[in-house]
A and B are shown apart, each in its own frame.
Chain A
Amino acid sequence: MAPRAAAGKWTLVQPSILPGFGLTFGFTTFFLSALVLIPLAALVSMAASSHWVDFVHTVFSQRALASYRLSFGASAVAASINLVFGFILAWTLVRYDFPGRKVIDALIDLPFALPTAVSGIALTTVFAENGWLGRYLELAGIKVAYTWIGVTIALTLIGMPFMVRTVQPALAEVQSELEEAAEILGAGRFYVFRRIILPIVLPAMLTGFALAFARAVGEYGSVIFIAGNLPFKTEITPVLIVIRLEEYDYHGAAALGCVMLTISFLGLWAINHLQSWRRGRFAATGR
């Protein structure tokens, strides 16, 4: 959407009778440069200024690899749990009416609003050996706190609103006429679900999955309490970055930071593509 240049003359902005472009453009540029561009440049240059052997050594050390495995593994499991339960939640909230529906609907956003340190210590207390839920899981032989399961539970909580809030509007858009038509033509409920509802909602579910996953990979506050942070076992990558920083190993921290940043960029890219795919599909159905 670059502005049309008049007769080949380069212009920054398309003419408009509205004032204030210079002021707001300048301010936005200044703010974004100072707060985002320069710090990111510092991260990349710090990582690039270390010798490549050191870089590889840091990024592919056994401890770092173990932390990626936990961070990405637990995030994938958590996002998958949300894929199922987030869909059920969205379905319940869109399709059914029951007492307390509005309160539940508002509560979905709680993990957004609740400081992560609070959800971290609260989850740890609930799922500790003597906690409200932890003691029953303990009887069943499942240890949650200070294991990868605890990490997964914290990440599930953090990702849940992303899935529900993405799937909800998509489910609300499923036209009842389509379902009725299918039903009249003799389709069973399951068939209607599989062939009509699921295809409409699937792109939203994938977007929700990507959003929940991306958020979970970087999560710090709610995980560190329930994880126990044992190297090689329950240490997520963000914790490893903090440890490197506390050792004043700026280059190591920057190298790991770059790995995570690259993955965040890939995530953003994937989410943008999923969203334009969704828009394309809805445009095709005339909505």
Chain B
Amino acid sequence: MLAELRSRPGHDSLLGKLMRWVLISISLLFLAALLIAPLITVFATALAKGIKAYLAVFHDPDTLSAIRLTLTTAAIVVPANTVFGLAAAWCIAKFEFRGKAFFTTLIDLPMAVSPVIAGLVFVLVFGLQGWFGGWLQDHNISIIFALPGIIIATMFVTFPYVARELIPLMQQLGNDEEEAAITLGAGGWMTFFRVTLPKVRWGLIYGIILCNARAMGEFGAVSVVSGHIRGLTNTLPLHVEILYREYNIVGAFAVASLLTLLAVITLVIKTLVERRGYKGR
């Protein structure tokens, strides 16, 4: 591809060279101000008072409970959304049925909706003055300001990731091999596990890591439904906010550095999957 680039017209002229340096410089400066500077700030501020102060943040019981809550949420949300993504993709990519466009629109919806609205709708359903609020209170079930609310809101925000990755991939790969397997006598589950799953595995991994990153990092939706109860309904991103608002800057950035690390690992895995020849949507 690069050989082809070099042969592009205007590549060797003086003006072309000048343009090239100007544009590369603009790009790098833009990214340095907007992306690299904040990224370095996270680690520089977290370590500003030394490594001891940094590590002390992670001995705080509230931080530990935030880590636990975030991991619990992801452990429930990501598998659930994976199953949903596979089911929705099988249904939408393998069959022609009425209402398919409606399904697709509903799956796209959370991507277009503000995270605050994602939280709001569940408060309206499960909150005290919401649809089921009275009933839930009578039966002593708490959803809003408790773990179930956090899980449901996170699920809403992240469920499209796996499905949106798999649907176009499965549509593009077609049904021929599955039909051959069924014709040769394989059962439905066997066809799924032995034929379909290996075909779509990179797309599946891609969707799962993006879903996981968003599930662990979601702020707006979770903030609305969680009630910010320290040590109880505080996920890592919410803990960052609380520490920051209390002017515990080192603490806030130490926790933020953990989330940044998660983002960087996500990008690395994503790049590795792309090297395998899989192009994300």
Which positions in A face B, CB cutoff 8 Å?
Answer: 1-3, 12-14, 16-21, 23-25, 27-28, 31-32, 35-40, 42-43, 46, 85, 88-89, 91-93, 95-98, 104, 106-107, 109-119, 121-123, 125-126, 131-133, 153, 156-157, 160, 176, 179-180, 183, 189, 192, 214, 217-221, 225, 238, 241-242, 245, 248, 250, 253-254, 257, 260-261, 264-265, 267-268
Contact = CB atoms under 8 A, between A and B. Distances in A.
Contacts of B95: 13-14, 16, 18, 21, 25
Q: Is the interface of A mostly helix, strand, loop or mixed?
A: helix
B33 A133 contact: yes
Contact of B27 (A89, A192, A260): A89
Interface of B: 2, 4-5, 7-10, 15-16, 19-20, 23-24, 26-28, 30-31, 33-39, 41-42, 45, 83-84, 87-88, 90-92, 94-98, 100-101, 103, 105-110, 112-117, 120-125, 127-131, 152, 155-156, 159, 175, 178-179, 182-183, 187-188, 191-192, 210, 213, 216-220, 223-224, 236-238, 240-241, 244, 252-253, 256, 259-260, 262-264, 266-268, 270-271
Given A241-B116, A248-B129, A42 B121 contact: yes
A38 B192 CA distance: 31
B117 A43 contact: yes
Contacts of A180: 8-9
A238 B114 contact: yes
Contacts of A260: 114, 117
Most chain A beta-carbon neighbours within 10 Å: one of B5, B36, B45, B217: B217
Given A28-B84, A43-B117, A117 B240 contact: yes
B34 A153 contact: yes
A39 B237 contact: no
Given A238-B114, A257-B120, A35 B155 contact: yes
Contacts of B112: 214, 218, 264-265, 267-268
Given A24-B87, A89-B27, A257 B117 contact: yes
A37 B27 contact: no
Given A114-B263, A121-B253, A217 B114 contact: yes
A1 B96 contact: yes
A43 B121 contact: yes
10 contacts: A12-B98, A39-B121, A43-B121, A92-B24, A110-B263, A125-B41, A153-B34, A253-B123, A253-B124, A268-B105
A189 B8 CA distance: 11
B97 A17 contact: no
B41 A3 contact: no
Contacts of A261: 113, 117
